[in-house]
Structure formats: structure tokens, C-alpha cells
Amino acid sequence: MLRSRLGQQAVARIATGLTPAQQQSIKLLGLTNGELADLLAEALAENPLLEPAADLPEAARARLQRPLPKTRPLPPAPRPLPAALGRLFAGPARQRGAGGEAVADTADAGPSLQEHLTTQLGTDLADPADRAIGRALVEAVDEAGYLSQEPAEIAGRLRIDPARVARVLKRLQEFDPPGVFARSLAECLALQLADRGRLDSPMERLLERLDLLAEGKREALRRHCAVDAPRLDAMIAELRRLDPRPGLAFERAAVQAVTPDLTIERNAAGGWEVDLNGDSLPRLALNERYPDSDDIEARAYLRAQRSAARWLLRALDRRADTLRRVAEIIVQRQAGFLESGAGALRPLSRREIAHSLDLHESTVSRAISGKHAATPRGVVALSAFFGGGLGEAAEIAPAAARARLKEIVGEEPAGHPLSDQEIAARLGRGGIALSRRTVAKYREMLKIPPSHRRRRQASL
């Protein structure tokens, strides 16, 4: 028993052994250059002892000093409607105008839901602390308009009285579109009915027992609401006119073009060289010229900010070094791809890279997550260099197998397309062992029609 308890304590110490600084370093490693630019722009605005590096390219300097984005890139994914109630709200997708009327779904793309809600924050909440709470609540709203985190959780993260968060949430639940910031379907529908002045006692009782409505138990529901059958039918018809997912009426934020985090180019010796993208890589420096102060509190504040700035700069150096090391060994293992294309990709695992660099596998995963490299073969996600092996010697990566499959189809006789089984046989003779089913899957991934359709296309 004692040994078991000591073992549990050891596991707990390992799980919580990372210092806040180490946790922040891990977070920085997982960010793309674009995400890092946003984080450093915030640091630049908050810490007077930080400034853009003197040799920072103009593009990167402008990126650091641009206004901070009002919203996060994408809100949380929407929760699904209860299956039994989905039929109640089934119908064509619709958008709602400010007055709640249905409008055509062909309008020009407007702001995202979070942008729309953030705009209302500035006009409806005068207190800065309330606006900060409001921003946290907006960031927790999913695409359908529901709150994806409990207010108590948000209060704990902000270290603010939960009652104040609840008060701000109540204000935000009056925002347009009606029904946003709800924590359940019943609350979403109740907010919309209240906005229309139609939330009376019978309707509140109906919303209490949506389970009875989902099960089709109208008689039990009628008794619970204390109404007759025609009135219940009218209440249900009114529910049908509501929008159970009001946030989906808004366009998602536009997908931004990928900016490479690294460049991979040939060097003068004919080998491959990896560089961090200087045009997008944000860099800061410590402002050593910042005047000191005679005030004790001011000196303590500046001392804390100087310590935070130095730690951040060291963490940025560690991030850059780790990212470069990981990319360099990827290039060593996948030089064939850079020279000849996808057909030369070799199997590569994160564990293999981690072992070579004496890193943890999770560190490699964070280093490549969301990162892209500009290569002679175009902009490539670093994750695309990884994959398991195919064939007896496990020397063929899936991407290489797909490239070979595409070549075989391109070489097949005109008017005599090969079946999936015949393609599998040809791949096998070349050392790539794939089943007919896997060939069909890869063919569909490459958008290559089946043999009977290719035969018909050739005849036409």
C-alpha cells in the first residue's frame, strides 16, 4: 500500500513538475509565426521594456505594430442539436436580420459572429473590466452561438467574482442575434421568446420539458403546461419559427493564406539549407534606454517587466533553435522529396526525429504543428513529411505510393484502363504492397475515376 501511494505521488509530481516558464515555452513552440506575431504584439503593448528588433524587416515590423485582431481566428465548433429535436427545426437554412425576420441566404459575406458580438461590446459595456469579461465570454461562444464554457470557469481564469461574470453574461444575452450566449437549447429558445415578448408561464413550462416534446408525449406535455390541445399546438408552432442555432447565420472568418514559417533552399555547396522566414518571423529586443525611476513601486514594476522581457526573449530563441533543428533533420531524411517530388518520400515518424535530437516526441509534434515551409516543390506543411511505410522493406511512404499510382494510371493504354486489382498488381511488382481496397481509396483521394468511367471518357 505504501509503495502504491508513493508511486501515485511520483506520477503526480511528474505531471505537475513543469514550471510556468516551461509551460509557456511549450506554448510558444506550438504557435505558428502568425499566431506568435499576435502574442508578441500584445506583449509589446503591455511591456514598456520591449521593442521591435532594430534589424527587423519592414514587413515583420508592420505585423508586430498593426492593431490587435478583435477576435480569435475561429470560434469553437458548434454543438449538435439533440437528434430527437432536430426534426422540429428541420427546414432550409436561414439568416436573420436585426429585427428577427428571415432573409435570403444569398447576402454578401459579412462579419463573423464573434466580430458582430465584439462590436456590440464597445457600445453596450462602458466599464473596462466588464468589457474584458465580455471579450472572454465572446471568445467562448461557438459557431452556433452557444457558450462553450461555464461562467464559473471563465471567472476562475480571470480571477474575478463569478457573480460579476454572471451579470455581464446576462447583459450579453440581450445582444443580437437573439438567443446567443445560451448554455442550452431551452435557454436559447427562451432568450428568443423573451426578445419577442412571448415568454409566458406556459411557454416556460414547455421549455422545461423539451424531452417530452422529443418523445412525442403531447398529452403529458399538455398537462405539464396546463393548456388545452389547440394552445399546445400553437406553442409548438411558435417554437418551430425560432432559430435553435442563431450563430450559424453568420459567415465564418475568412481563411487566411498560408505564410511559410521556414524556407528550404539549395546552398552554394549543393546541399539544403533551412532558414526561419525573416519576413514573417516576429522578433523583439530589450529596450535598454528606458529611463529608471526614483519611485520604489515604479522600480519594482520595471524590475518585474525587465525579468519578463528577458525570459520571453530567451524563450523565443529556444523556439527558433528547436524549430530549425527539427526542420533540418526532416530535410536530411526527406532530401529525395525536395529533389524528385512526392514519389521519393520515405517513411518518417516523430519518434525517429525525437530520438535523433534527444527531444520528447510531444516536443517534435508541437514544433511541426501548423508550420509550413517554402520549398522548391511549393509551400508544404511540415506534417506532410511524416508517414508510415508500405511494402516489405517499409521504404515507401503513402504519399510516394499515391504518386506512383498516379503515374501508372497516366501510362495505361488509351481505351484500356486498368482495374484497381491490376493497379495493385503493378504496384506490387514495383515493391509497393497495397490491397485492392487501399488502391481504390488512394485513387479516390487523387480524384481519379474508376476504370469503367475512365473507359467511357476515353470513348467520348
**DSSP codes joined into one string, 53-114:** -TT--HHHHHHHHSPPPSS-SSPPPPPPPPHHHHTTT-S---EE-TTS-EE-TTSPP---HH
Q: Are residues 367 and 290 in the same domain?
A: yes
Predicted confidence at residue 155, as pLDDT, reads 85
Q: Tell whether 64 is covered by a domain.
A: no
Q: Tell whether 11 is covered by a domain.
A: no
**DSSP codes joined into one string, 158-178:** HT--HHHHHHHHHHHTTSSST
pLDDT tens digits, one per residue of 30-40: 887 778 877 88
Q: What is the rounded average pLDDT of the residues 81-99?
A: 51
How many separate domains does the chain show?
3
Q: Are residues 96 and 173 in the same domain?
A: yes
Q: Which domain holds residue 235?
A: 83-249
- Final residue in a domain of this structure, among 380, 414, 446: 380
Closest CA to 343 of 401, 430, 408: 401
Predicted confidence at residue 282, as pLDDT, reads 65
Q: What is the rounded average pLDDT of the residues 154-163?
A: 84
**Residue 177: cis peptide before it, omega within 30 degrees of 0:** yes
Residue pointed to by grid coordinates 520528447:
360
Q: Which residue has better confidence, 399 or 116?
A: 116
Number of neighbouring beta carbons within 10 Å of residue 288:
8
Q: Are residues 109 and 179 in the same domain?
A: yes
pLDDT tens digits, one per residue of 259-273: 788 888 888 888 888
pLDDT for 149 beyond 80: yes
| Ramachandran quadrant class, 270 (left: phi over 0; alpha: psi -120 to 50; beta: rest) | left
Number of neighbouring beta carbons within 10 Å of residue 406:
16
Predicted confidence at residue 392, as pLDDT, reads 38
- Under the banding of pLDDT at 50, 70 and 90, the label for residue 288 is confident
Cβ-based neighbours of 254, under 8 Å, separated by 6 or more: 109
Q: Are residues 135 and 36 in the same domain?
A: no
Q: What is the rounded average pLDDT of the residues 368-387?
A: 78
Task: Please tell me whether residue 396 adopts helix, strand or coil conformation.
Answer: strand
Q: Do 165 and 155 meet the contact criterion of CB atoms below 8 Å apart?
A: yes
Q: Are residues 229 and 262 in the same domain?
A: no
pLDDT tens digits, one per residue of 189-226: 999 998 888 889 999 999 988 888 888 888 999 999 99
